[in-house]
Structure 1
Amino acid sequence: ACGECDICFQIAEQNFLDFQVLIPDGKFIKIDQIRKSLNWLHLHPDQAKKRVLILDGAQHLGREAANAFLKTLEEPAPNTLLILIADSSQQLLETIVSRCQQIRFRPLSEEISERILRETTNLSTARIQLLSAFSMGSVNGNLAERLELMETVQQTAIRWLTTFSAATLEEMLRTCETWAKSKNEEWRLLLDFLETWFRDLTWLFRGLPEEKLINRTVGSDENRISALRKSGEHFTLQQIFEIFGWIAESRRTIELNANKSLAVESLCLHMYRSAV
């Protein structure tokens, strides 16, 4: 696409008659959304040769919505194109995955991520580098809007991960309960950060180059790497691998509608018991 013509602008603003993007309404893509979009999909194209329906965040399809969508995936209407975007095929029903052609996208390089952020935001160079490091190869506009919140969550978590005490545990549990109930979803930022932190600890344990650490760009390089080394004194490599599993399990249970407070607090307890 040229990105400059009227049709490109209409698509970018989601005003093109033969193009539709479906996103979660709240936590899930609901069955009413699917039914409405499928009715639209079966209409004859107005301006283009095909009608295009994109499900952005297909992993959030509710079970009823997913089942309603299966028939169309199996026998799509003529002159239609269906695109499902998900973080991982493992988050989708096998019956959906089996009816789709999978296309995997490699993470963007830091150079490309930073260039896009410079062109699309007014952030400082330091903040662009921070955002690029924690976007893990994607350009997350939502994360850019929540950058200050992300920094607050990270700074709080680093204090916990370098100072294990009874008072630390009490603060962890109290704060995680608040974050789990917040509309800002700090719990999600916490899980994202913990993955990068323990990834970096693994990196240091293996004696790999410090310039490849994700956390090297936040604040002072020396202070952040020093905090990583201090945190690493509390864990063995085996414990770090186990914590990765607990983080993944916390995500999975929350996606299955488990109590977020209990899931995140349980993760914190596992980390604390491993470290003490």
Structure 2
Amino acid sequence: MNPFEIIGHQDVLDTLRGQTSHAFMLLGPHRVGRKAVAHYIAALANCAYGTACGTCPSCLAIARGTHTDVMEVGPKSETSSGKQARRKIIPVKVITGRRDEQNEYDQHVVEWLHIAPYTRRKVVIFDGAEHFNAEAANAMLKTLEEPPHRAMFVFIAEDQQRVLPTIVSRCARIFVPPVREAEMQQALLQLEGNLDPELLEFAAGRPGVLFEREAVRSALQQAREMVQALENGMLDALQASEKLEKSFNPEWHPEALLFAFRHHPLSVRAKADQALSEALDALEQYANPGLVFQVLALKWREALGLH
């Protein structure tokens, strides 16, 4: 496996090698490998041989996340008080230091870009372009149109409809699709020497799942236990909801829980999805987690026709 941990996507890589744009938008499902492709773009810009060879010092530094000319920016997931943010955004204060009155960020995109690169080109990767607010996007526009030192920009998003048009219109758009099943199987064999049909089904062509497979397997196991407890009875359901609340991983549990309902009728899955969405919204509003998961268990039993 290459140092950028790219599984599949050979067509995408071939397309990128022929591109001359200074701004890209990588579109596709979450965990399909868009960030790995973004690292490949940064490597193409700075590789000692101009090929993203994967072996020169520049490529290896990019793969390790230590390259001095590559900056990654994502939405802020916590408030200044340490609580989980109710709404993820990329704020203007990370774009320009002049708006960072409380010095929350060590680096600011605009100021960082005006420092000459140590290698060939500076590259900024925005992971979650749909989380730009209008103020941050406007602060980026002049820099995006007239990049200092030939800087490059890579915007990662799931749906371009959720990205501000002023950003989209200035980018070469590249769709990063799910990876073919045969390539996923081969990658899993390389990673651990055996196939796991349930893991591959859950991954659905998203290589990022394979790199976090232990956390995924744990979430899938707990999701199965939760659904079984719902069917066993009210007491088991409430006890399972308490256990789930204590171990809940927002990165994996929501999807794993819905995956556990996949063999149920569509009407049941729709109600389960709606109940989970309401629970996640309540958690974002800092509702009591224990109560949220108890209500979720009750709504799921109702979705299953159990009372």
TM-score bucket of the superposed structures, by smaller chain: 0.5 to 0.7
Please list, as runs of the form range in 1=range in 2, the aligned pairs for 1:260-271 lying within 5 A after superposition. 261=289, 264-271=293-300
Task: State the SS of the aligned residue for 2:212.
Answer: helix
The CA deviation at 1:125 is 0.9
Corresponding residue pairs, total = 228
| Aligned twin of 1:189 | 252
The alignment's TM-score, normalised by the length of structure 1, stands at 0.65
- Establish whether residue 149 from structure 1 lines up as the match of residue 225 from structure 2: no
Greater length-normalized contact order (CA 8 Å, ≥ 6 residues apart): 2
| Aligned twin of 2:117 | 45
Q: Report the AA paired with residue 8 of structure 1.
A: C
Please list, as runs of the form range in 1=range in 2, the aligned pairs for 1:90-129 lying within 5 A after superposition. 102-119=173-190, 121=191, 123-127=192-196, 129=197
Task: State the SS of the aligned residue for 1:85.
Answer: strand
| Aligned twin of 1:211 | none
Q: Give deviations 1:109-168, integer Å, cap 9, x for gaps.
A: 22212323333x3x24144x443322232122652242452343233224235x242113
- Establish whether residue 3 from structure 1 lines up as the match of residue 54 from structure 2: yes
The CA deviation at 1:102 is 4.3
Structure 1 residues 103, 259: closer, same or farther in 2, change over 3 A? farther
Does the Cα contact within 8 Å between 1:73 and 1:99 map onto a contact in 2? no
Q: Report the AA paired with residue 138 of structure 2.
A: L
Task: State the SS of the aligned residue for 1:240.
Answer: helix
Q: Give deviations 1:39-94, integer Å, cap 9, x for gaps.
A: 2123333422x421002244566x5xx63343214651422222222344466567
The CA deviation at 1:259 is 3.6
Q: Distance in 2 between matches of 1:95 and 1:53?
A: 17
Q: Distance in 1 between matches of 2:252 and 2:218?
A: 9
| Aligned twin of 1:237 | 266
Does the Cα contact within 8 Å between 2:62 and 2:70 map onto a contact in 1? yes
Does the Cα contact within 8 Å between 1:250 and 1:264 map onto a contact in 2? yes
Single out whichever of 131-140 and 82-91 deviates more from structure 2: 82-91
Single out whichever of 254-263 and 165-174 deviates more from structure 2: 254-263
| Aligned twin of 1:71 | 139
Alignment partner of 2:64 out of 4, 10, 13: 13
Does the Cα contact within 8 Å between 2:199 and 2:217 map onto a contact in 1? no
Q: Which has the higher helix share?
A: 1
- Identity, in percent, stands at 23
The CA deviation at 1:190 is 2.6
Structure 1 residues 150, 173: closer, same or farther in 2, change over 3 A? closer
| Aligned twin of 2:126 | 55
Q: Which has the higher strand share?
A: 2
- Establish whether residue 166 from structure 1 lines up as the match of residue 234 from structure 2: yes
The CA deviation at 1:247 is 3.6
Q: Distance in 2 between matches of 1:132 and 1:273?
A: 30
Does the Cα contact within 8 Å between 1:195 and 1:244 map onto a contact in 2? yes
The alignment's TM-score, normalised by the length of structure 2, stands at 0.59
Please list, as runs of the form range in 1=range in 2, the aligned pairs for 1:248-267 lying within 5 A after superposition. 248-251=277-280, 253=281, 257-259=285-287, 261=289, 264-267=293-296
The Cα RMSD (Å) is 3.5
Structure 1 residues 158, 54: closer, same or farther in 2, change over 3 A? same
